[in-house]
Amino acid sequence: EMEGHVNDGILTHLHTAFSREQQRSDRGKLYVQDRLKEEGERIAKLILQESASVFICGDGNAMAKDVQQAFLDLFVQFGDNIKSVEEAEAFLSSMKTSRK
């Protein structure tokens, strides 16, 4: 269904990580935070420079902490205007508030 949204032009990018169904050949399961790190610079630039929206589906209780930390790391590493974890946290909070 989500790939159909890419084909229809509703979504411009789609990255998936199905930890329960997918095995990485040498490192075990693939999680959302792993996918974020693999595509880190591109994802950070899309969010920080092009105001991209992000949709993450899954168990918010179990994965939220690791996914949030991955975003914070990306924002500090690749964000030209984000110089600290505190600034990254403020930006992530604003994304949540604006439902981005």
Widest pairwise Cα distance in the chain: 38
Q: Which domain holds residue 64?
A: 2-97
Strands (E), the chain: 23-24, 28-29
C-alpha distances in Å from residue 32, one per residue of 7, 16, 86: 22, 7, 23
| pLDDT at residue 13, rounded to an integer | 82
| pLDDT at residue 30, rounded to an integer | 79
* CATH number of 65's domain: 3.40.50.80
Where is average pLDDT lowest: 10-19, 29-38, 42-51? 10-19
Q: Confirm whether pTM is higher than 0.75.
A: yes
pLDDT digits (tens, 9 = 90+) for 47-80: 999 988 888 877 767 778 899 999 999 999 999 9
Instruction: Please count the structural domains in the chain.
Output: 1
Whose tokens are 């604006």? That residue is 98
